[in-house]
Structure 1
Amino acid sequence: MLIVPRLRCRAGAEALGEQAGDIQHVGDVYAQTQLAYQKAAQVLAKHDASLSDVVKITAYLLDARSLPEYHRARREAFQDIPPPAHTLLVISALAWPGMLVEVDLTAVVGRQD
């Protein structure tokens, strides 16, 4: 978490458990995406921010065939919030075997829309 006045960056929200390499919801990109956004929201809350403060998402996905499941989970996470700018990259590998998705979020607290 990078802390700059009004700026909050959450890098590497993913479906990891308590131990390094402990992947949750193996094989389920929808559940991994839900967990990643839940974890990101928890970290943002610890720094006086929420998903409604997010202005940019960069997401990394292993398989383009998983796009519908990823987008469904993202829409649910932001269902009552105007969607932020979003970049999605399909890549060949993530940090741990079994990880299917990772998201980085940038939030600006107290912005005027």
Structure 2
Amino acid sequence: MKVTLDSPPAAPQPASPYYSQVARVEHADGSALLFVSGQIAEGDTLAEQTRGIFEGLTALLAAHGATLTDVINIRTYLTDIGELQEYGAVRREFLTGTPPTSMTFEASRLFRPEARIEVEVVAAVPAGR
């Protein structure tokens, strides 16, 4: 097993120099698991922030040969669980296949005060990608 930590230059850069955006765990058969750090995005509304997050996740996954269809687990942190339906509507625009396993939490505060949502994912990448 080989582990690579990465912050791909073509994708959103970390908000701090103290972590990497992606941990790629490669297995002997050539398949890999991608653990993507929690993502936040700018925007005035939850929908804008959510779209920005999923666009960023798309770029981070693409840098490692993956797409949103490879996502097997998603964790979402909302500052207001009452906005779950709004988040879900945008999420369904991006995750159109079989839904991944999921956990959603209400958090009183996130890394940046203006952030209303943070999302992290795990993706399974088949051999050869």
Provide TM-score, normalisation by structure 2: 0.75
Matched, 1:93 2:116: no
Q: Which one of 15, 28, 39 corresponds to residue 13 of structure 1? A: 39
- Over residues 65-90 of structure 1, what are the superposed CA-to-partner deviations in whole Å (9 max), with x where a residue is unaligned? 211111011111112x2110110001
Identify unmatched segments of 5+ residues in structure 2.
1-21, 27-31
Matched, 1:2 2:19: no
Mapping of residues 49-60 of structure 1, within 5 Å: 49-60=66-77
CA distance in 2, matches of 1:61, 1:109: 27
CA distance in 2, matches of 1:40, 1:9: 11
Provide TM-score, normalisation by structure 1: 0.85
Matched, 1:105 2:121: yes
Amino acid paired to 1:9: F
Matched, 1:38 2:55: yes
Percent identity between the aligned chains? 32
Identify unmatched segments of 5+ residues in structure 1.
16-23
Higher helix proportion (structure 1 or 2): 1
Residue 13 of structure 1 and its aligned partner are, at CA, apart by 1.4
Larger Rg: 2
- Which of structure 1's runs of 4+ aligned residues deviate more than 4 A? none
- Over residues 31-62 of structure 1, what are the superposed CA-to-partner deviations in whole Å (9 max), with x where a residue is unaligned? 11111011011100000111011000000000
Over the residues paired in the alignment, what is the CA RMSD in angstroms?
1.1
